[in-house]
Amino acid sequence: MKHKGKATSFDIAHYAGVSQSTVSRALRNSPLVNEETRRKVHEMAAKLNYKVDKNASNLRTQQSSTLALLLFEDPTTDESQINPFFLSMLGSITRACSKEGYDLLVSFQSSSQDWRADYEDSHRADGIILLGYGDYLDYQSRLQQLLDQDTKFVCWGAKVDGREDLSVSCDNYGGGQLAAKYLIEHKRTDCAFIGDASEHSPEFFARYEGFKNTFEQHNITLSERKIANAISTEDSGYHATKSLIANNISFNALFAASDLIAIGAIRALQEAGILVPNDVRVVGFDNIPAASYVSPSLTTIEQNTTLAGQMLVSNLLNLIKGEKVECTLLPPNLIVRNT
């Protein structure tokens, strides 16, 4: 019964005394095969440790039961550190995939110019999930190209021109509102914003807009001078905040476009002898695991990554099935801690 190489369905057929066609049907539990025969085939397959060759099966059926995840990184981020928020998304996407019986191909894309998205063309995946804070404006032409090729994909965060159904994102605008309301309730109306408040980072921009507009509804105008640019790293948040301090710009609250930025900002404040939260209250965004570890622990706007992963996967699968998909906006959630 020992065999060189892996067993094929012909081997099972031979030992079970049936035809290869019957083996194939029996293993997929087709109702066409006799109960007794099915049992015999399954038994033999188990004995020979037979596993269906996915390449052959995929080739014939023209689908792969696999999704591809493209993770775009800020090109400035260093090799070993990956944004923890996306890692958390990665975890939930992986789980959502396996729950749906799909495998997941993971690929990190560092260059924004020529990323690989040929997973579907090459029949390696049935669809693609795009993930990243990235400067998506650069990508629109590539996204359009994917659309033209009829590639199935969904995006986190970014909008695809004219195709809202391809996006899943947090209600960033609403998150900004939550942060503003929280600070207003605590009478902190002299606010700084650390992040990129331009349309180059659509997500950060929406957070800022929701934040600013809520203040305006309370007749408070945020000073443009109190905005400091930063990408989503601890280091960048640190330096941006330092430069505000160096320029003698005062504020009693700080809204950071992401938790990493907030953590860096707090470090800068502490170094300058500014007390958090007594002198300056800080609100972050994301609720990454570290937000609860740092001290003081970070007050932040949570994005539900578990739900986000599920929505990305289920929307993509519906898209593949050709069903209508709605634009998906996930509700953010204020987590009050000690800043």
Partner DNA sequence: CCACATTCTGACACCGGTGTCATAATGTGG
Partner DNA sequence: CCACATTATGACACCGGTGTCAGAATGTGG
Positions touching DNA (CB under 7 A) are 5-6, 8-10, 17-22, 24-25, 27-28, 31-37, 50, 52-53, 56-57, 59-62
Residue 95 contacts which entry, DNA, its own copies, none (Cβ below 5-8 A, type-dependent): its own copies
262, 298 in Cβ contact below 8 A?
yes
The site that binds its own copies (CB under 8 A) totals a number of residues, namely: 49
First vs last C-alpha separation in the chain: 68
* Binding residues for its own copies restricted to 104-133, rule: CB under 8 A: 104-108, 118, 121-124
Residue 149 contacts which entry, its own copies, DNA, none (Cβ below 5-8 A, type-dependent): its own copies
Answer for which of 9, 22, 24, 94 binds its own copies (CB under 8 A) is 94
- What is the Cα–Cα distance from 11 to 238, expressed in whole angstroms? 64
Q: Coil, strand or helix: which one is 259? A: helix
- What is the Cα–Cα distance from 3 to 163, expressed in whole angstroms? 53
Q: How far is the CB of 108 from DNA (least distance, A)?
A: 26
Stretch that binds its own copies, among 38-46, 51-59, 205-213, 313-321 (CB under 8 A): 51-59
Stretch that binds its own copies, among 23-31, 92-100, 177-185, 218-226 (CB under 8 A): 92-100
Residue 234 contacts which entry, DNA, its own copies, none (Cβ below 5-8 A, type-dependent): its own copies
Q: How far is the CB of 139 from its own copies (least distance, A)?
A: 18
- What is the Cα–Cα distance from 277 to 55, expressed in whole angstroms? 58
Q: How far is the CB of 302 from its own copies (least distance, A)?
A: 11
Query: Residue 171 gets which letter from DSSP?
Result: -
Q: Coil, strand or helix: which one is 335? A: strand
54 lies in the site for its own copies, by CB under 8 A: yes
323, 161 in Cβ contact below 8 A?
no
Q: How far is the CB of 328 from DNA (least distance, A)?
A: 31
Residue 66 contacts which entry, its own copies, DNA, none (Cβ below 5-8 A, type-dependent): its own copies
| Cα 322 to Cα 58, 96, 150, 255, 309, distances in angstroms | 19, 20, 11, 41, 20
- Count Cα neighbours of 58 within 13 Å in the Cβ-side half-sphere: 15
